[in-house]
Amino acid sequence: MESLVTCRDCGLEAFTTDDLNAFVKHENMKYGVDGICLICANKRSHNMIWFKGKRIGFDENPRSNVCSKCGKKYPEDLKQQTHIHHIKYDSKNPLAHTIELCGSCHGIAHGDRRRPLLIELPNEEIAKLYLSGVSENALSKTYNVNRGAIRNRLILQGVQIRNQSEAETLKWSQMDDVQRKNQVKKAHQARRKKEC
C-alpha cells in the first residue's frame, strides 16, 4: 500500500485518513496536511526564535529553558519555553546580545513598569564572588534578583553549589568572636530561661 503522506524529517507514513491526524494541518496542501508530522514540527518550533519579525530556525535548540531574570525553569518536554529577548539586534548573528526570559519577565522587559527593567548581570563576576565565599543570598540582594537567578547563573558557569553544611562552615569561618557571640546570643538566652 502506498502512503498518502510521508514526514520529510522522520519518515513517518500516513496510510489512512486517520493517520493524517498525526500531521500538521495545512489547507492548501494535498489531503489538507503538510509534509511534516506533529512531533517533528514541535521539535522544529523549539529550535526557532523570532528575530526582527521573522522566525529563524537553528539546528539545535538555542534555549536552556531557564529565565535569566527570575530563575524559572521549564522542563525540556514542555511545549512552553523561555523567550529569547534581544537587548540589541545584530543582523549578522541573531543570538548576539540576547537573554532568555520567561513570559512574565519578557512582558516586563517590553514595557510593564510594575517591576524594574531587566539588567544584564555579570555572570563571571557573580561566580568569582561566590567562589570567594559570598553567599547566594548576599549576591541576590547585591544584584536585586531572585536567588534562583543567581543559582542558575552559577550552574551555567559550571560552579559547584555549596550544600548547607559547607555554607554554614564558610559563614562561621568568616565571623570574628563578637559576631559569633551575637549569632548564638538569643539561643543562649532562651536556653538559660528554660533552665530556671
Domains of the chain, by residue range, sit at 5-41, 48-156
Using only C-alpha atoms, what is the Rg of the chain?
26
pTM higher than 0.75:
no
At 36, which helix (H) or strand (E)? strand 33-37
Cell of 185: 546570643
pLDDT tens sequence for the chain (196 residues)? 788 888 887 888 888 888 878 887 776 666 656 677 877 776 666 677 777 777 777 777 778 888 888 888 877 665 567 888 888 888 888 888 888 888 778 877 776 544 443 457 788 898 899 998 888 888 888 888 878 778 878 877 888 888 888 888 888 888 898 988 888 888 888 888 776 6
The residue to which cell 555549596 is assigned: 162
What is the rounded (10 degree) CA torsion for 58, 54, 41, 60?
A: 10
